[in-house]
Structure 1
Amino acid sequence: MSHDTSHPAAPFRPRLNLVWMLAAGLFAGFVALTIGDKSAKILLVAPLAFLGLAAAIRFPLIALAGLTVMIVTNMSQNLIVAFDLPSTAKLAAPGLFALLAARFLLYQERPYIAWVAILSLTAFFALKLFSATYAARWELSLNLSIDFAKDALVALLALAFMSQRRGIETITTSAALAVAAICALGIYQIVFGNMMAGFHGFAVVIANSGRFSGPLGDANFFACIIVFTIPLALFQLLNARNALSGLGWAIVSGLLIAGLLATQSRGGLIGLAVALLVLGTGLTLRQVLSFGVIGVVTVLLVATVASDELIQRFATILGTVSEGELDTSTEGRLASWQVALELFKEHPVLGVGIGNFNSYYQNMALELGLIFRGEGRSTHSLYLEILTEQGLVGLLLMGAILFVAARSIIGAVRFANGIGEVRLARHLTAFGAGLAGYLAAMTFLQDSFPRFLWLVIAVALEAEWILRYHYAGSPFLSGRPRVLRSRNVS
Structure 2
Amino acid sequence: MTAQSTWLLTISFMVLCGAALAISGNLAVPLLGTSALLGGIVLIYLAAYYPFALAITFAASSMFRIHEALPILSPLRLPLILAAITAVSLLWHLVKGNLRSEWTSQTVWFVLFFGLVSFGVPLAASPSAAFSAWVDSFSKIFVMTLSVAWLVRNPHEFRSAARAIALFGLVVALVALRNKAIGVELVEDGRVTIGRSYGSILGDPNDLAFMLLPALGFAASLAFTAHSRVERFIFAGAGLLVLLAITYTRSRGGLVGCFALGAVLAYATMRSRSLATVVIVVLVVTLYIGMGLSSRLTAGSVNGKLDESAAGRIAMWSLATRVGLEHPVTGIGLANFEREAYRSSGKWKAVHNTWLSVMAESGIVGLGLFLGMVSATVYTLLAALRCLPLDSHIHRCMALGLLSSFAGLCGAGSFLSHGFSWPIYVLVGLTAALNSAIRSPVAEQPPRQTPVRQNPKSHRGISTTVSYPPPKAR
Distance 1:101 1:360 in 2: 38
Partner of residue 74, structure 1: 65
One-letter amino acid matched to 1:403: S
2:249 to 263, 271, 279: 263
What's the TM-score once normalised by structure 1's chain length? 0.76
One-letter amino acid matched to 1:71: S
User: Superposition pairs for residues 197-346 of structure 1, below 5 Å?
Assistant: 205-206=185-186, 209-214=189-194, 216-285=202-271, 306=290, 310-313=292-295, 325-346=305-326
Distance 1:398 1:276 in 2: 24
Distance 1:25 1:292 in 2: 56
C-alpha deviations, 1:196-240, integer Å up to 9, x for none?
3xxxxxxxx325542222462221112112222223222222233
One-letter amino acid matched to 2:327: H
Distance 2:441 2:65 in 1: 32
2:120 to 131, 136, 153: 131
Distance 2:432 2:153 in 1: 16
2:348 to 376, 383, 390: 376
- Aligned-residue offset at 1:294: 9.7
One-letter amino acid matched to 2:315: A
- Aligned-residue offset at 1:72: 3.5
SS at match of 1:166: helix
One-letter amino acid matched to 2:341: Y
- Aligned-residue offset at 1:334: 1.2
Pair 1:86–1:432, CA change in 2 (3 A): same
C-alpha deviations, 1:218-264, integer Å up to 9, x for none?
21112112222223222222233233222212211110110110111
1:391 to 363, 369, 382: 363
Distance 1:140 1:297 in 2: 41
C-alpha deviations, 1:165-194, integer Å up to 9, x for none?
433332332111121232223223423xx1
Pair 1:49–1:255, CA change in 2 (3 A): same
Partner of residue 437, structure 1: 408
Partner of residue 82, structure 2: 92
Q: Is the Cα contact below 8 Å between 2:69 and 2:175 reproduced in 1?
A: no
Distance 2:278 2:393 in 1: 22
Pair 1:404–1:462, CA change in 2 (3 A): farther
C-alpha deviations, 1:362-396, integer Å up to 9, x for none?
4545xxxxxxxx42322111211122222211111
What CA RMSD, in Å, does the superposition of the two structures yield over aligned residues?
3.8
SS at match of 1:156: helix
Partner of residue 183, structure 2: 195
Distance 2:305 2:463 in 1: 49
More divergent stretch after superposition (385-394 vs 350-359): 350-359
The alignment status of 1:421 with 2:392, answered yes or no, reads yes
Distance 2:336 2:286 in 1: 45
Greater relative contact order structure (CA < 8 Å, 6+ sep): 2
Unaligned runs of 5+ in 1: 1-11, 197-204, 366-373, 476-484
Distance 1:91 1:375 in 2: 35
Q: Is the Cα contact below 8 Å between 1:280 and 1:288 reproduced in 2?
A: no
Partner of residue 456, structure 2: none
Distance 1:489 1:37 in 2: 50
Partner of residue 201, structure 1: none
Pair 1:104–1:133, CA change in 2 (3 A): closer
- Aligned-residue offset at 1:156: 1.5
SS at match of 1:282: helix
C-alpha deviations, 1:63-89, integer Å up to 9, x for none?
24422442134234566x656623111
- Aligned-residue offset at 1:291: 9.9
Partner of residue 110, structure 1: 98
Pair 1:213–1:343, CA change in 2 (3 A): same
The alignment status of 1:447 with 2:418, answered yes or no, reads yes
One-letter amino acid matched to 2:169: V
Q: How many residues in Structure 1 have an aligned counterpart in Structure 2?
A: 437
Pair 1:224–1:297, CA change in 2 (3 A): closer
- Aligned-residue offset at 1:454: 1.6
Distance 1:48 1:288 in 2: 55
Distance 1:459 1:214 in 2: 27
The alignment status of 1:177 with 2:167, answered yes or no, reads yes
Distance 1:103 1:134 in 2: 35
Q: Is the Cα contact below 8 Å between 2:58 and 2:79 reproduced in 1?
A: no
Partner of residue 156, structure 2: 166
Q: Is the Cα contact below 8 Å between 2:87 and 2:143 reproduced in 1?
A: no
- Aligned-residue offset at 1:53: 2.9
Distance 1:53 1:363 in 2: 45
Pair 1:386–1:269, CA change in 2 (3 A): same
Pair 1:260–1:454, CA change in 2 (3 A): same
1:488 to 438, 454, 462: 462
SS at match of 2:193: strand
The alignment status of 1:401 with 2:389, answered yes or no, reads no
Partner of residue 7, structure 1: none
- Aligned-residue offset at 1:288: 8.7
Distance 1:152 1:324 in 2: 46
Partner of residue 15, structure 2: 30
Distance 2:143 2:329 in 1: 27
Identity of aligned residues (%): 19
Distance 2:329 2:288 in 1: 46
Q: Is the Cα contact below 8 Å between 1:172 and 1:431 reproduced in 2?
A: no
- Aligned-residue offset at 1:47: 4.6
Q: Is the Cα contact below 8 Å between 1:273 and 1:437 reproduced in 2?
A: yes
One-letter amino acid matched to 2:129: L
Distance 1:292 1:23 in 2: 60
Distance 2:158 2:304 in 1: 42
Unaligned runs of 5+ in 2: 196-201, 447-458, 465-474
One-letter amino acid matched to 2:241: L
Pair 1:104–1:398, CA change in 2 (3 A): closer
One-letter amino acid matched to 1:343: V
Pair 1:398–1:85, CA change in 2 (3 A): same
C-alpha deviations, 1:298-337, integer Å up to 9, x for none?
966996xx4xx724346669x99xx975222112111111
Pair 1:353–1:337, CA change in 2 (3 A): same
Distance 1:380 1:451 in 2: 16
